[in-house]
Amino acid sequence: MDVRVEITRAATQELVDAFSRLLPQLSSTAKPLDFETVDRMVACDANTVLIARTSEAIVGTLTLVLLPLPSGVRGRIEDVVVDSAARGRGVAGLLTREALRIAETAGARTVDLTSRPDRAAANRLYERLGFQARQSTVYRFPIDG
C-alpha cells in the first residue's frame, strides 16, 4: 500500500468525511465533527493536522500540538487513528515520525502522547519509536457542554 503523509492546511469535505469514519474507530464517545469544527481545528496556529492518504482515501490522521511555554516549546501528539483496514501496514509510524520531525524542527524540547493500555500495538509502536512511559498522574476536569 502506497501511503503518503501530508499536512492538511484547509478543511475539506473529504477531511470531514474522513474524521467521521475514523474517529469512532478511536473512541466510542467520539462525536461527529462538522465542517466548522474541522476548519477551526485545522486553522489553529498551535495545531498541525497530518493525514495519511492512499490514492483512494485518507487512511489515518494525527494532530500535533506545539505550545510555546515558559519552559520551552512542548509538543503533544493527539488523536492518532488509522483506519482498521490499513492497520499493521506502518501508517501510524509514518504519521508519528513526521510529527516528531516537525516538532524537532520547531524546537520542541519534548513530545508527549497518551495511549490506553489496551492499545497494545500502538504502545509497542510508540516504544519502538523511542517514547518512554512516564510515572505521572494525569488529571482531567470534565466540562459538559
Assess if residue 141 is contained within a domain. Answer: no
pLDDT in tens, 15-26: 999 999 999 998
Is 139 inside any structural domain? no
Domain count, the chain: 1
Q: How confident is the model at residue 136 (pLDDT cuts 50, 70, 90)?
A: confident
In a domain, 134, yes or no: no
The range of the structural domain enclosing residue 52 comes to 4-128
Q: Give tens-digit pLDDT for 78-129.
A: 999 999 999 999 999 999 999 999 999 999 999 999 998 888 899 999 999 9
- Residue 145 in this model has a pLDDT that exceeds 80: no
For residue 58, give the nearest of 45, 49, 66 by alpha carbon. Answer: 49
**Is 18 a member of any domain?**
yes
3-class DSSP state for residue 134?
coil
What are 57-85's pLDDT values in tens digits? 999 999 999 999 999 999 999 999 999 99
Q: Is residue 142 part of a domain?
A: no
Return the DSSP state at 3.
Answer: -
CATH number of the structural domain spanning residue 61: 3.40.630.30
* 135 in a structural domain: no
